[in-house]
């Protein structure tokens, strides 16, 4: 196989596809979050990409549209609540003049028209997964962007910046509803993106880069929006080969399906962050754990490697993906919960294992939020609703440890691995030795981040004559470990 293209996670932050780990319009402390989005074409090519939003519970599509980008062009938009009704859907708006199909535009006199998220993919009788059919389910989730190819000719001319109006493109109507763009060529990459979660009333603002996957395809992957099957991470144009650097070795893994190559590039066995839950600063911490390819492996009746369990919206013991978490204080190694390795230690000596080994916490949601807080705090930083669908909520002082800040590690508790084909190769980066044979990836394909907040509701300001709100928030990518064996 000629593997000129092979999926890898680009450490420089740009590529042919982007994974945004989260969006939310949920309410917390009296106001709703908005999610701001930017997507940039850093190349001299004109191109078209598929932007797709998925809800958090089971990764079902809630909206998809095509974004056309001229050379060095950028598209910006926002996910906002359709109304103040908590049962209303999320809604995407944009004041950007870059071309989209369908049109998502601004109404100058009355705000933004935009497009509502939909429940078609889970509300139909033959699609009901038990996780609810209401539009409120669209209010948090994650999203992905996949480049379908470069464009030329009349399409490139239509999406180009106007020579008479520096704020407009030539003719976006020319690409709306078309069967295929002209001059279609292979994807050329160079896409990057950012997301910002902002709650104006509380003053919280969390910004992150999208994770970038590169070299997915060397052929055009354009697919009309109205014709199944939809373009996704298992489309045949994607090379079923992954490149991963880990633990002093380079793994070129060959797979039977494109989505396995994408999953391998994102496979991590441990996910790590920090937490702050100080009473004095009324701080909170959340960790977002998103499995962007889970819907390709998990149904309501079964699951395929590397996932272990069919989807169950109630997330009873034994369902979902088991995780073993360790929470450490800042100054010592006070473990709140046991690692998977510690469970193996007990078993090797025939000792009774702690209950956490027999019934580890599980994650059933496609985009779960783990909240770390004080026992007296009933509010989460993001107002996430996925806790009822297999998210996690830890209260750091309730076990008697009494610490309010430190670090947290999640280890995948599954023994099921994703195994590549026999033609895969491993190169030792120290010796250059190459060995051929299948690779076993342990863990789960995951992207995510952790965030912390600090609240000061009565900060003196204006020469101490007034009291102002002083709230702050920041977000950080998770750190990871990989476990790959040959």
Q: Do 215 and 250 share a domain, yes or no?
A: no
Q: In this model, does residue 335 exceed pLDDT 70?
A: no
Q: DSSP letters along 401-455, please?
A: ----EEEEEEEE----EEE--TT-EEEETTT--EEES--EEESEE-EEEEEEEEE
> Residue 110's pLDDT band (boundaries 50, 70, 90)?
very low
Kind plus residue range of the DSSP H or E element containing 158: helix 153-159
Residue 295's closest CA among 285, 273, 310? Answer: 310
Write out pLDDT tens, residues 216-237: 999 999 988 778 788 999 999 9
Last residue of a domain, one of 176, 191, 220: 220
**370, 392 Cβ separation under 8 angstroms:** yes
Most confident residue range from 141-155, 274-288, 344-358, 388-402: 141-155
Sheet containing 466-477: order of strands: 392-395, 367-373, 284-290, 447-461, 466-477
Mean pLDDT confidence for 313-323: 87
Q: What span, in angstroms and rounded, lies between the C-alpha atoms of 344 and 342?
A: 5
> Residue 359's pLDDT band (boundaries 50, 70, 90)?
low
Mean pLDDT confidence for 295-323: 92
Q: Do 6 and 113 share a domain, yes or no?
A: yes
Residue 57's closest CA among 395, 281, 387? Answer: 387
Last residue of a domain, one of 220, 249, 280: 220
Q: Where are the alpha helices (DSSP H) in 110-269?
A: 120-123, 153-159, 258-266
Expressed as residue numbers, the domain containing 153 is 1-220
Q: Do 201 and 252 share a domain, yes or no?
A: no
Q: Do 462 and 379 share a domain, yes or no?
A: yes
Task: Calculate the alpha carbon distances from 204 to 120, 385, 393, 470 in Å.
Answer: 32, 18, 20, 10
Task: Calculate the alpha carbon distances from 372 to 49, 261, 408 in Å.
Answer: 37, 33, 9
Least confident of 149-163, 255-269, 279-293, 367-381: 367-381
The count of structural domains within the chain is: 2
Q: Do 285 and 187 share a domain, yes or no?
A: no
Least confident of 173-182, 299-308, 449-458: 449-458
286 found inside a domain: yes
Q: Do 256 and 190 share a domain, yes or no?
A: no
First-to-last alpha carbon distance for the chain, in angstroms, is 21
Q: What span, in angstroms and rounded, lies between the C-alpha atoms of 368 and 385?
A: 9
Map residue 343 onto helix, strand or coil: helix
Q: In this model, does residue 43 exceed pLDDT 60?
A: yes
Bridge partners of 106? Answer: 112
Say what the pTM is: 0.92
Q: What span, in angstroms and rounded, lies between the C-alpha atoms of 370 and 408?
A: 11
State both tokens at 483: 């476990």
Q: Do 285 and 209 share a domain, yes or no?
A: no
232 found inside a domain: no
Mean pLDDT confidence for 276-285: 84
Q: Do 181 and 326 share a domain, yes or no?
A: no
248 found inside a domain: yes
332 found inside a domain: yes
317 found inside a domain: yes
Q: In this model, does residue 412 exceed pLDDT 50?
A: yes
Residue 61's closest CA among 249, 296, 244? Answer: 296
Q: Do 13 and 162 share a domain, yes or no?
A: yes
Q: In this model, does residue 398 exceed pLDDT 50?
A: no
Distance of CA 143 to the CA centre of its chain: 6
Last residue of a domain, one of 162, 187, 220: 220
132 found inside a domain: yes
Looking at residue 465, its pLDDT comes to 67
- Exposure pattern of 141-154 as b/e (b: 16+ CB <10 Å)? bbbbbbbbbbbeee
Mean pLDDT confidence for 162-190: 91
Q: Do 421 and 449 share a domain, yes or no?
A: yes
Kind plus residue range of the DSSP H or E element containing 262: helix 258-266
Q: Do 82 and 114 share a domain, yes or no?
A: yes
Looking at residue 309, its pLDDT comes to 94
Q: Do 143 and 247 share a domain, yes or no?
A: no
Higher pLDDT residue, 333 or 471?
471
Q: What span, in angstroms and rounded, lies between the C-alpha atoms of 235 and 222?
A: 11
Q: In this model, does residue 16 exceed pLDDT 60?
A: yes
State both tokens at 315: 């997330």
Mean pLDDT of the chain: 88
Query: Dihedral, CA atoms, 233, 235, 241, 246, nearest 10 degrees?
Result: 0
């Amino acid at each position: 196989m000629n593997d000129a293209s092979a999926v890898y996670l680009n450490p420089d932050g740009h590529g042919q596809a982007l994974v945004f780990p989260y969006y939310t319009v949920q309410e917390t402390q009296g106001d709703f979050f908005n999610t701001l989005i930017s997507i940039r074409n850093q190349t001299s090519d004109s191109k078209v990409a598929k932007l797709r939003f998925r809800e958090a519970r089971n990764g079902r599509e809630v909206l998809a549209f095509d974004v056309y980008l001229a050379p060095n062009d950028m598209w910006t938009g926002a996910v906002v609540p359709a109304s103040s009704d908590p049962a209303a859907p999320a809604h995407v708006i944009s004041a950007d003049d870059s071309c989209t199909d369908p049109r998502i535009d601004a109404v100058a006199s009355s705000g933004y028209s935009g497009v509502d998220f939909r429940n078609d993919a889970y509300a139909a009788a033959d699609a009901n997964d038990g996780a609810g059919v209401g539009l409120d389910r669209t209010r948090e989730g994650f999203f992905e962007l996949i480049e379908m190819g470069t464009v030329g000719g009349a399409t490139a001319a239509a999406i180009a910046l106007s020579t008479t109006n520096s704020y407009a493109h030539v003719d976006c109507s020319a690409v709306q509803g078309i069967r295929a763009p002209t001059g279609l060529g292979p994807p050329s990459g160079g896409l990057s993106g950012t997301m910002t979660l902002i709650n104006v009333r509380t003053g919280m603002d969390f910004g992150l880069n999208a994770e970038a996957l590169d070299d997915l395809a060397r052929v055009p992957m354009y697919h009309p929006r109205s014709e199944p099957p939809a373009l996704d991470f298992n489309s045949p144009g994607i090379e079923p080969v992954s490149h991963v650097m880990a633990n002093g070795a380079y793994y070129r893994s060959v797979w039977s399906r494109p989505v396995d190559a994408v999953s391998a590039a994102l496979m991590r066995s441990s996910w790590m962050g920090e937490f702050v839950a100080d009473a004095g600063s009324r701080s909170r911490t959340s960790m977002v754990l998103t499995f962007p390819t889970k819907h390709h492996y998990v149904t309501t009746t079964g699951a395929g490697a590397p996932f272990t369990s069919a989807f169950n919206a109630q997330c009873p013991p034994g369902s979902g993906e088991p995780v073993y978490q360790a929470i450490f204080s800042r100054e010592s190694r006070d473990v709140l919960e046991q690692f998977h390795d510690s469970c193996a230690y007990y078993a090797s000596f025939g000792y009774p294992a702690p209950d956490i080994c027999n019934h580890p916490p599980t994650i059933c949601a496609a985009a779960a939020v783990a909240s770390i807080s004080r026992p007296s705090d009933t509010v989460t930083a993001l107002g996430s609703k996925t806790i009822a669908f297999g998210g996690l909520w830890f209260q750091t002082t309730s076990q008697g440890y009494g610490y309010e800040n430190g670090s947290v590690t999640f280890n995948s508790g599954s023994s099921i691995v994703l195994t590549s084909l026999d033609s895969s190769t491993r190169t030792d980066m120290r010796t250059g030795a190459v060995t051929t044979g299948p690779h076993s990836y342990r863990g789960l394909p995951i992207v995510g981040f952790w965030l912390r907040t600090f609240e000061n509701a009565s900060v003196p300001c204006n020469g101490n004559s007034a009291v102002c709100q002083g709230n702050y928030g920041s977000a950080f990518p998770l750190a990871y470990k990989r476990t790959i064996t040959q």
